Amino acid sequence: MRQNISGTSPFEPIIGFSRAVRVGNAVHVSGTGPVGADDADAATQTRHTLEIVRAALEEAGARLEDVIRTRIYLTHVEDWEAVGKAHGEIFGTIRPAATMVVVAKLLNPTWRVEVEADAVISDTN
């Protein structure tokens, strides 16, 4: 059974996507930007983005501890350490597989980071 999780992004209805999709025990969270923290520094944007990811996971019945993979997109290579540390504040003991990629631009030009996440809900949740 498929469960679509909507968020508050103004781009969802325009592009035609869900914040997250759950199928069985797998949850896939779409690329998530720091909506509401657009003008913050990269670390703050990352923390804010991960809170949006957490909320989507919880709505789908998952927890941060269920995350097995993240993908982090940066617009400024010099932000890698600050973004990595913010990611580590949340995932330091969970340690999902992670990829960090530098891109030319994100959908909103003020965003310095965007994050995707995949989770597998364990039988013990």
CA-to-CA distance for 125 and 122, rounded, in angstroms?
6
CA-to-CA distance for 59 and 56, rounded, in angstroms?
5
Q: What is the pLDDT of residues 38-49, one digit of tens each?
A: 999 999 999 999
Contacts of 38 (CB under 8 A, 6+ apart): 45, 108, 110, 111
Amino acid 14 reads I
pLDDT of the residue at 11: 79
Q: What is the pLDDT of residues 2-40, one digit of tens each?
A: 999 998 877 788 999 999 999 999 999 999 999 999 999
CATH numbers and ranges of domains, the chain: 2-120 (3.30.1330.40)
The whole-number average pLDDT for the span 88-99 is: 98
CA-to-CA distance for 46 and 87, rounded, in angstroms?
7
Least confident of 12-21, 64-73, 74-83: 12-21
